[in-house]
Structure 1
Amino acid sequence: MGDVRRSNLALVLGRIAYAPAGVHPSRAQVASATGLTKASVSSLVLDLLDAGVIREVGLSQQGRGRPGVGLELNSARAVLGMEINVDYISAGVTDLTGNLLALETQERDNRPAAEGTVLAALARLAAKVRAEAAGSGVQVLGGGLAVPGLVDAAASRVLTAPNLGWSDVDLDLDALLPDTPLGVSLFNEANAAALAEVRHRPSGSSTFLFVSGEVGVGGGLVIGGELFTGPEGHAGEVGHVVVEPDGLPCSCGGAGCLETVAGQDAIFVAAGIDAEARTRSQSMAVLVQALQSGVPSALSSVERAGRYLGVALASTARVVNIGAVVLGGHFAVIDPWLREPLLASLEKHAPGRLPPDQVTASTLGQAGALLGAAGSVVRSLIDAPHLLQQ
């Protein structure tokens, strides 16, 4: 396929995919919007129909003329988002418009396990979710995997994931979703969750910092609706901003990082919660119950986390000139108790830089990272639909 036809194929698919909700453009409308001839559009649409990425639906009125057949993304095609985190793995199927069709999460401690063992467990979970989708007539075209660390996506390599104990680990991504035309792409967990916010948050600034609270603390920087990762792809690592110069050692090899006082384990320890004897969700439930009951150790641990989170965000906001923050992971869960000390810290260290109404909690829950990974794969497909024809 020639470069011009590939470009035009993406142009046509983009016009269909990004049409407003409820709008199903016809071939003639796509031709008018793109400047391509009706004959060219008809040929390109036929290729997209043959590839199964779009489908015909109803009739689309074209002014005073005869209505044409509407076009939309095929709801029987999907991608699979996956996540490996320190204490769980998850897999979820989304259709091409981003709707979550199925989700499975398995709590497990991945720290002592070799990467091959973790990938094998995730492959089984992915196969289960994929089979559920197939039972409903939905075909998975490919997937995205989010991990809590720095990655080289092109090489399918995790450069470093300190909380997993992984360093320069090559992943066999094809084993996660065998026999799919798009294969599996690799993403940083916080970056993927930040991209999910771009698509799914109801309103707000298109420039913001997403802060992911898990065992570690990650960050994704979004500027004008686009993820900014820096020249080596590692921008946004707010969890390793130093907030206590003489603080505790961090998994990154430094000391006094935000993660050491605001990470999940740090909060549990300060609250007196024995996380080793419970699953992650059980420990979080215990923390929330303690906060609701006004247990002093729980309140002080979250107050401390919020105060230092404010220090890190104040510094970050000044350096990258952002005026909005979205809190995810456990920061969203404990937001009712975290918010006051966080806002007080922001006002002290960066007055006026981050107004209270611009510090919001994510509504995506634990699915954010896999939704972002899946959405990125869909976006890549729309930019290069010819990949389905190879």
Structure 2
Amino acid sequence: MSLPWGTNFEKEGRMASSAPAAGAPDTGTPGSMGDVRRGNLALVLGRIAQSGAGAHLTRAQVAAATGLTKASVSSLVLDLLDAGIVREIGLNPQGERGRPGVGLELNPAMGVMGMEINVDYISAGLTDLSGNLLLHQTQEQDNRIASPGSVAAALAGLAADLRGNAEAQGVRVLGGGLAVPGLVDVKTGTVITAPNLGWNTEALDLDALLPGVPLGTTLFNEANAAALAELRYRPAGGADFLFVSGEVGVGGGLVIGSELFTGPQGHAGELGHVVVQPDGAACSCGGTGCLETVAGQDAIFAAAGIATQAASDGSAAWASRSGRAASGPSRSETLAQLLAALAAEDADALGAVTRAGRFLGVAVASTVRLLNISSVVLGGHFAILGEWIMPALSDSLERYAPGKVLPGNISLSGVGQAGALLGAAGSVVRSLVEAPHRLQVQAS
């Protein structure tokens, strides 16, 4: 599969990177020959990337598709080959007269690491430049009782393991993307606030996550990254949708015109903090009655009467230092208990999920009316609970926003738990396709 390279994955200025200064775009007089060549380099690489699996375009075909001369394309392709971004593969006899040309494809020996920090787990996955997930590992741990530095260190260790495995298989890691469940300042690599983690104004050492990679590491909001992955991977496609991320908290990503909409400061889509119960429970954000107080994982588990991994601060901290699991069931075990209770038609479990679906509908109804969006994609635990939550969500939407979101326009995520890291990795690849000279500078 190839990524939709023609899609603007993120508005300009929304991505921050720890990439070394040497990899930054060269400055110079606008319209200079260097600018033209860099633009043509991106044009050629973008056309190769768009060709799709198994379609190995030749230099002549790239020239015909881009309008550049064959000589220019040949020169640009040599630069891409030298940088290791593309490789030659076999002969392509299709669509050409005379001697077959040599096919071109994104180099499968180059990869990008997607990473995620969430409330109760860390995760890392390696994709190739075409977006295929090659390696993936998740480690469950309670990050609420650990310092940001220790969480980042644990993730760096996980990423190092995957990077070692990748290099053993001949795959070089070019850069990475990190997704976190909170508001982020992408320019400085700072988590402004992540209420469910208890983080405020935490400047992360992005370089330490993947030391020495030429493209550095970028920072993303978790729900936005997952929305990007959904845009790329969802089988039904669609240019406009609201992605709803369900974890301990609830997040949202807005895709409008096949572009991620993040607002002036990059913080749009905070669905979990839409007020659905004005006189409801206090929320970790400091507000009252937010959606995640009734539809977040912990809220659903509590309403269903299912115990969570709620160890005391002291015992949890000891467990974290000793490398042992904290007392109580893990996240996956707790979800399994809830699913078993739902399958057994337990009244408390059914009531908890129905209640979550109803209030989710209240928040979504307000959002789709405001933004004129008619499609909703459910991710995280909302997708896992889809069989039970969809009826309540559909009924709620019909009550509060009749005709705005038809039942057929509510779908479950096509990427599953790996969505955030896939989206983060994919956006890093996108940045490379838009500016391949960054890697050239590093390789020179």
Same fold (TM over 0.5): yes
Which AA in structure 1 matches 2:81?
Answer: L
Which AA in structure 2 matches 1:190?
Answer: A
Q: CA RMSD in A?
A: 0.9
Number of aligned residues: 390
1:389 and 2:435 correspond: no
Distance in 1 between residues matched to 2:180 and 2:281, nearest whole Å: 24
Residue of structure 2 aligned with 1:353, choices 393, 401, 404: 404
Report the secondary structure of 2:239's partner residue: coil
Report the secondary structure of 1:102's partner residue: strand
Residue 233 of structure 1: aligned partner: 266
1:340 and 2:391 correspond: yes
Residue 241 of structure 2: aligned partner: 208
Distance in 2 between residues matched to 1:64 and 1:123, nearest whole Å: 51
Which AA in structure 1 matches 2:220?
Answer: F
1:19 and 2:70 correspond: no
Distance in 1 between residues matched to 2:98 and 2:199, nearest whole Å: 61
1:52 and 2:81 correspond: no
Q: What are the within-5 Å matches in structure 2 for residues 189-338 of structure 1?
A: 189-276=222-309, 277-338=328-389
Residue of structure 2 aligned with 1:31, choices 63, 85, 90: 63
Structure 1 residue 3: Cα displacement:
1.3
Contact 1:270-1:301 within 8 A present in 2 as well? yes
Contact 1:208-1:323 within 8 A present in 2 as well? yes
Residue of structure 1 aligned with 2:112, choices 79, 82, 86: 79
Structure 1 stretch displaced more, 33-42 or 190-199: 33-42
CA deviations on 1:101-160 (whole Å, 9 max, x unpaired) are: 001100000011111100100000000011111111111100000000011111111111
Residue 174 of structure 1: aligned partner: 207
Residue of structure 1 aligned with 2:135, choices 97, 102, 112: 102
Contact 1:62-1:68 within 8 A present in 2 as well? no
Distance in 1 between residues matched to 2:131 and 2:277, nearest whole Å: 40
Distance in 2 between residues matched to 1:109 and 1:288, nearest whole Å: 21
Relative contact order (C-alpha < 8 Å, sep 6+): which is higher?
2
Unmatched 5+ stretches in structure 1: none
Contact 1:213-1:264 within 8 A present in 2 as well? yes
Unmatched 5+ stretches in structure 2: 1-25, 27-33, 310-327
Residue 313 of structure 2: aligned partner: none
Structure 1 residue 59: Cα displacement:
1.7
Taking every aligned residue pair, what percent have the same amino acid on both sides? 69
Structure 1 residue 278: Cα displacement:
1.1
Give me the TM-score of the superposition, normalised by structure 2.
0.87
Residue 362 of structure 1: aligned partner: 413
Give me the TM-score of the superposition, normalised by structure 1.
0.99
Report the secondary structure of 1:274's partner residue: coil
Q: Which runs of 4+ in 1 moved over 6 A?
A: none
Distance in 2 between residues matched to 1:96 and 1:208, nearest whole Å: 25
Distance in 2 between residues matched to 1:44 and 1:20, nearest whole Å: 20
Distance in 2 between residues matched to 1:283 and 1:269, nearest whole Å: 11
Distance in 2 between residues matched to 1:162 and 1:69, nearest whole Å: 53
Residue 124 of structure 1: aligned partner: 157
Structure 1 residue 22: Cα displacement:
2.2
Residue of structure 1 aligned with 2:42, choices 3, 10, 17: 10
Structure 1 residue 21: Cα displacement:
3.1
Which AA in structure 2 matches 1:284?
Answer: L
Q: What are the within-5 Å matches in structure 2 for residues 88-99 of structure 1?
A: 88-99=121-132
Residue of structure 2 aligned with 1:140, choices 157, 173, 179: 173
Which AA in structure 2 matches 1:243?
Answer: V
